[in-house]
Amino acid sequence: MRREELVQELRKVLGRTGFFMTEPKLVANQVFDLVARRDATLIVAKCTVNGYSLSREAAEQLLQVAQLLRASPVVVSLHSPRGALEPGVIYLRYHVPLVSLETLKDYLIEGVPPVAFAGPGGYFVSVDSLALRRARQQRKLSLDALAREVGLSRRAIQLYEEGMSAAVEAAERLERFFGETITVPIDPFTYRAEPGAGFGPEGDVTAFEAYVFRTLEGMGWRVTQAVRCPFDALAEAPSARLLSAIEPQKARAAARGRSIAGIARVAETEAVVFVGEEMSKGAVDGTPVVTRRDLERSGGSEEIWDLIRRRKGSS
């Protein structure tokens, strides 16, 4: 299966299970293939045939976009250099969750979540520490007695009861002994990059981009540059979050506006195109346009935000 076919299959699975997605032709970039939402779940997904071909830089960019959108990153792949990805297992590639298409189908269509994650030395599971302790105490077993019964160390069981993950084999021994489940299924869509996590170096900026960044920051907006994405930055103020495209000339404003508007709709945020030249319209295809002259005349963040709201949806 080629990468393009994998993207199509992923879109089918997400669409079948109630996800609202960005349109395929509006997102053409190196960082991600689609943004999708179902209720409170928002994901930024990238497809690769070989999951371990994902570079550190690409992983950092994906994590950054996910953090900016307040979404969960996920990479969907077919295999690693060692062969097919195991079903029901979540892998990590530079801190990005990596799953097979089959694992995702099992989770979304069949309701069977992944149960293990790959780590150094093998596969591991999350242990329900309270269930393990309750099962042991109901049988009036000490840590030492349980350790002898299942062939594990006392210290290992103590750590499992304190919340440490267990090797799959160790968890299976405990579950066979107790006759009940003590592991916790894994939701691949709950991963979040830590706020303020370090990412790769910022990309080069044009003179107009630097002007927009500097002007917005001077008004009190917090601006974060996005690299190799359909949007160039996220601007945040107490009252608003703006996915921003920045174009020195007006020729590409409409195309950029359509692209970021699709992402903003799914991410439930706002979109704006900053343009260096004057334009006759205040919006392109429903996406507000703010020109350099608008920025020069603006008195602050609330005034810019009011302008964007007035122009939203105008033609």
Per-residue pLDDT tens over the stretch 233-288: 999 988 889 999 999 999 989 989 988 999 999 999 999 999 999 998 899 888 99
pLDDT band at residue 313 using 50, 70 and 90 as cut-offs: low
From its phi and psi, is residue 285 left (phi > 0), alpha (psi between -120 and 50) or beta?
Answer: left
State how far the Cα of 4 lies from the Cα of 127, in Å rounded to an integer. Answer: 37
pLDDT for 4 beyond 50: yes
Q: 90 pairs with which residues across the strands?
A: 117
Classify 221 as helix, strand or coil: coil
Amino acid present at 289: V
Which residues does 294 contact at the CB level (< 8 Å), separation at least 6?
A: 304, 307
Q: Please tell me if the domain spanning 3-115 has the same topology as the one spanning 124-184.
A: no
Q: pLDDT tens digits for 174-221?
A: 999 999 999 999 998 987 665 544 444 456 788 999 999 999 999 999
Residue holding tokens 């299976």? Answer: 172
CATH number attached to the domain at 207-309? 3.40.1350.10
Angle between helices 101-108 and 3-16 (to 10 degrees): 10
- Using DSSP, state whether 164 is helix, strand or coil: coil
Task: Check residue 19 and give its pLDDT.
Answer: 97
Q: What is the 8-class DSSP label of residue 203?
A: P
Domain locations along the chain: 3-115, 124-184, 207-309
Q: 71, 30, 61, 63: which is closest to 47 by C-alpha?
A: 30
Are 238 and 300 in contact by the 8 Å Cβ rule? The answer is no
Tell me the backbone φ, ψ of residue 22, rounded to 5 degrees: -65, 150
What is the Cα–Cα distance from 10 to 104, expressed in whole angstroms? 9
What is the enclosing helix (H) or strand (E) of 119? strand 116-119
pTM: 0.86
What is the distance between the alpha carbons of residues 210 and 214, in angstroms, rounded to a whole number? 6
Q: Give pLDDT, residue 194.
A: 58
Tokens representing residue 92 in the block: 């990590």
Q: Which two tokens stand for residue 67?
A: 């953090």
| Angstrom distance (rounded) from CA 23 to CA 14 | 13
Topology of 124-184 in CATH? 434 Repressor (Amino-terminal Domain) (1.10.260)
3-115 placed in CATH 3.40.640.10: no
